[in-house]
Homo-oligomer: A and B are copies of this chain.
Amino acid sequence: MRPFKIFLKTDLFRSKVCGGLDFTYDECNINIETFRYQFDTMLGTQRKVTIKEVAAEANVAVSTVSLVINQKGYVSEATRTRVEAATEKLSFVPSNAARQLISRKTGNIGFVTRSDHFVRNEPFYTQIFLGTEFEARNQNHYILLSTIPSPYSPGTDTPRFLRERNVDGILIAGRVDPLFITETTDAGIPVVLVDFEYSGLPAVIIDNQTGTREAVDYLIAKGRVHIAFLGAEMDHPSMEARLEGFRLAISKAAEIRDIESEILVVDGEPDHVAGQKLSMQLFSLDPFPTAVFCVNDAIAFSVLEMAAERGIVIPDELAVIGFDDVPRSSRSVPPLTTIRVYKEQLGELALRYLSELLQDNTENSGSFDRGSHSIQIPAELILRESA
């Protein structure tokens, strides 16, 4: 809009500069942004196109362009299409940095999980992560991933995005050191837990209890009477719920008594090591059970392996059911009957939940979080050949 003048010292330079442009030196009465854009492209200096160039191209003010791309306020149909054409033509993409700066939001969401969880053999948390990543695209968020060590020391191990306040909210997947959780909530950063619960914070979890109950009901319906329970890390809320589900299912079945002697648990992570210990205990049980519910697939695999070594026929002599439905479950020998957890969906839901929380936060700022809920998502019994 505003006309401008260029003062060039030599004729040579003058011809050089204006030679590549759409207008001559004499008629430099042109929008300065258009000039800069042309000048830069002529020199090969590819600057990012900004809202200013779009505005110049569409012959409107920058504020109008802003209104168009954010779909706010009043804009006439005519200018809207004009601006959109300009945006398209110059292939304009708004600068994230500038937006962050003015909106005082980062648009980033942190995803935190324990490093040992993340690299373990079965890609459980990896799949959850991918679920959040997928949903993040819809919600126009970026995910920053950070793993934390298991005994966590605040300050030292603090993820960079937390230290630099470079996230709007944080997703915590799986059990982590409570010190980390309090560190983030103390920092005033909204948090949603995934596959874990802690002190009433918003969480997205699996309906462990119902899932387990269905599985055990199935075993009972198939006429199995001696059903063992193999568990580990029983102070984990999910594990507690699974045991609870187990007890509930058993207690409903009139024909079964004396449960406790068939509930086997060990300390530590429910991994293959625990699985081996538990299998040993299982196979020395007397009377020998006809079915076993394992608290996760890793333990079930151990049972399968050890049964194969001892020549115990599955499922005829022993029915085995796991939990999680990791990819390997479908190709174990025999394929494992297990409870499917929709991991991607878990991640998706968690992100959407957090996203909503952030929305609410800004709309009525400082409002109390209205009775933070746990969202439960159902798990599904998948029948394969081990039960």
Chain A residues with CB under 8 Å of chain B are 44, 46, 48, 93, 95-98, 100-101, 104, 106, 108, 115, 118-123, 126-127, 130, 133, 137, 140, 142-147, 160-161, 163-166, 188, 272, 327-328, 331, 366
Contact = CB atoms under 8 A, between A and B. Distances in A.
A127 B119 contact: yes
A92 to B, nearest CB: 11
Question: Main SS of the interface on chain A?
Answer: mixed
Given A163-B93, A164-B96, A133 B146 contact: yes
B106 A165 contact: no
Contacts of A115: 130
Contacts of A328: 121
10 contacts: A96-B164, A97-B98, A100-B100, A101-B101, A119-B127, A120-B123, A123-B123, A130-B147, A133-B145, A143-B145
Nearest 4 pairs of A and B residues by beta carbon? A97-B100, A97-B101, A119-B123, A97-B97
Contact of A133 (B147, B188, B272): B147
A46 B123 contact: no
Given A101-B95, A272-B331, A130 B118 contact: yes
Given A101-B101, A119-B126, 11 more contacts: A46-B188, A93-B163, A95-B101, A96-B164, A97-B100, A115-B130, A119-B130, A119-B327, A121-B328, A133-B147, A142-B166
A123 B106 CA distance: 30
Contact of A122 (B48, B121, B366): B121
B145 A160 contact: no
Contact of A126 (B44, B100, B123): B123
A48 to B, nearest CB: 7
A327 B97 contact: no
B327 A121 contact: yes
A143 B144 contact: yes
A164 B136 CA distance: 14
Contacts of A121: 121-123, 327-328
Nearest to A47: B104
A163 B137 CA distance: 12
B146 A144 contact: no
B101 A106 contact: no
A106 B108 CA distance: 13
A126 B124 CA distance: 12
Contacts of A366: 44
A48 B166 CA distance: 12
A272 to B, nearest CB: 7
B119 A142 contact: no
A46 B187 CA distance: 11
Given A123-B121, A130-B118, A142-B161, A97 B106 contact: yes
Contacts of A104: 48
A248 B91 CA distance: 52
Contacts of A46: 188
A108 to B, nearest CB: 8
A226 to B, nearest CB: 29
A130 B121 CA distance: 15
Nearest to A129: B145
Contacts of A145: 133, 143, 145
A166 B96 CA distance: 7
Nearest to A123: B119
A154 to B, nearest CB: 14
Nearest to A305: B333
B101 A98 contact: yes
A99 to B, nearest CB: 8
A333 to B, nearest CB: 8
